[in-house]
Copies of this chain bind each other. A is one copy, B any other.
Amino acid sequence: MESLSPPGRDAAGLLASDLLDAWPVLSPEERAEGFRLLAPGEADDLFGALDARETSQLLLALGRTERQLWVRQLAPDDAADLVQAAPEAVRDDLLALLDDPTRKEVVALLAYAEDDAGGLMSPRYVRLRPEMRVDEAIAYLRRQARERVETIYYIYVLDAQQRLLGVVSFRELFAAPAEKTVREVMRTDPVTVPEDLDQESVSRLIAQHDLMAVPVLDAEGRMKGIITIDDIVDVVEEEATEDIQKLGGSAALDAPYLEVSLLEMVRKRGVWLSILFIGELFTASAMGYYEEEIGRAIVLALFIPLVISSGGNSGSQASTLVIRAIALGEVRLRDWWRVLRREVATGLALGTLLGLLGLLRIFLWPARESLYGPHYALVALSVGLALVGIVLWGAVAGSMLPFLLRRLGLDPATASAPFVATLVDVTGLMIYFTVASTVLRGTLL
């Protein structure tokens, strides 16, 4: 093209982006049909934009010849993801479509856990020997540029035992004098990751060091592959999605919202909802314990939802902030004491704020005497004081629970807003009635 006109449409007028937009609402057959209508370049674009699960669904809707054609376009790390995302029953069929060398690479990659460095890496990186001259290396890379390597921009210098000696970027090599050796221009202290490092740690490392790629080593220091930053974007998004879904009080969905089956959706949410419900049953027991007080002063019951939900909200805030700070590495396990001190101060301030609001609400309400009785001032004091205690307790419990879970080897994100709210509800009732029976002794109670 000469100018910035929109890319040409083929006979069917269908663009990859159009089809991609409609993707979620199409049946497998419609997807395959639309895919076949795309011009070759557009089909490449679409195929590249699908994730592993979508790719596997599309391939299964295509004929065998087409399927083989497309599977062979995949880099081994993407092919491994594809096989992992496909239903158990068709995995071997998919593997059989690959050419022999790729199949070998894919099978090796499948041995790694999907969420580990080994499961993310590509074995197709460019390696050089340290004695090579810079101009020889550049000529070699020129040939590699036509091969199916992941990238020619990051180059790894290995000894005869495949151990990593150093790293050099193409740009550094390109800018170096032709007659120097690779050893002379390489950097010798590269950041590396072990093959069993979890993907969250890999992505944090890459982000922190502003890397474009990181080499993966086995326990003996032998290089196994590279992880490139484009894979990390997906990891960061995936990990955030998992955390967010857990924070909302359901199990992490493993697929886009609209594609999870209804049964799966009910299961993923029902498990947590039931656990929370069982926890919340203790509120009924706690309320039963205070039934007599409620009978004598119904007015106390009126403020129960207000008081306990304020504790829950304060707890949700605290746990969410702490969980995200832990996930980002801003706060470590040993920082719990500093966090606790902050949350005590914050919780007291917030509790006082809400306590005052509650106090004012009752004091300034026009119908206060008829609604809350002659002792409305004492009721207001009970509510206000209980709010200070409950909001403080919410902040403390909400902020410490993620540390406790992490300490027990569990995912801190389990301390979801609903989980913390449930925990704080039960204790909140006890705080409320204890404060009320102290303040109102001799008058209402």
Is A107 positioned at the interface, with any CB of B under 8 Å from its CB? Answer: no
Interface flag for A123 (CB, 8 Å): no
Report the stretch among A30-38, A111-119, A268-276 that lies at the interface: A268-276
Q: Choose, from A87-95, A235-243, A434-442, the stretch at the interface.
A: A235-243
- Could you say which of A56-64, A96-104, A166-174 contacts chain B? A166-174
Q: Are B357 and A320 in contact (CB under 8 A)?
A: no
A201: chain B residues within 8 A (beta carbon)? none
By the criterion CB–CB under 8 Å, are A274 and B353 in contact? yes
Question: Distance (Å) between the CB of A375 and the closest chain B CB?
Answer: 15
A258 with B145: CB separation less than 8 A: no
Whole-angstrom distance between the alpha carbons of A165 and B371 in the complex?
A: 75
Report yes or no: A230 in contact with B210, Cβ–Cβ below 8 A: yes
Would you call A249 an interface residue if the criterion is a C-beta within 8 Å of the partner chain's C-beta atoms?
yes
**In the complex, A64→B257 CA distance in Å?**
53
Contact partner of A287 (CB less than 8 A), chosen from B301, B308, B345, is B301
Nearest Cβ in chain B — how far from A393, in angstroms?
Answer: 14
Known: A221-B4, A233-B229, A301-B287. A210 touches B277 (CB 8 A): no
Q: State whether A266 touches B418 (Cβ < 8 A).
A: no
User: Which DSSP category, helix, strand, loop or mixed, fits chain A's interface?
Assistant: helix
Q: Which of A19-37 contact B (CB under 8 A)?
A: 20, 24-25
Q: Which residues of chain B are within 8 angstroms of A175 by Cβ–Cβ distance?
A: 142, 145-146
- Return chain B residues, CB-CB under 8 Å to A153: 153, 170-171
Rounded to whole angstroms, the CA-CA distance of A322 and B265 in the bound complex is: 13
Interface size on A, as a range, is: 35 or more
The yes or no answer to A374 lying at the interface (CB within 8 A) is no
13 example contacts (A-B, Cβ-Cβ < 8 A) are as follows A145-B171, A151-B171, A152-B171, A244-B247, A250-B320, A262-B349, A269-B350, A273-B391, A277-B313, A288-B302, A312-B312, A313-B421, A418-B421
Pairs of residues from A and B, 3 with the lowest C-beta to C-beta distance, nearest first: A248-B320, A240-B240, A7-B189
Task: Name A's B-contacting residues (CB within 8 A).
Answer: 1-4, 7-8, 20, 24-25, 41, 45, 48-49, 141-142, 145-146, 151-153, 159, 163-166, 170-172, 174-175, 188-189, 192, 203, 206-212, 217, 221, 229-230, 232-234, 236-237, 240-241, 243-245, 247-250, 253, 256-258, 262, 265-266, 269-270, 272-274, 276-278, 280-281, 283-284, 287-288, 291, 294-295, 298-299, 301-306, 308-310, 312-314, 316-317, 319-325, 328, 330-331, 335, 338-339, 342, 345-346, 349-350, 353-354, 357-358, 361, 371, 391, 416-418, 421-422, 425, 429
Extra contacts, 16 of them, besides A250-B320, A257-B322, A287-B302 (Cβ < 8 A), are: A2-B165, A24-B335, A49-B208, A153-B170, A207-B233, A248-B320, A248-B417, A258-B338, A262-B346, A274-B353, A284-B361, A287-B301, A295-B298, A309-B418, A312-B312, A313-B422
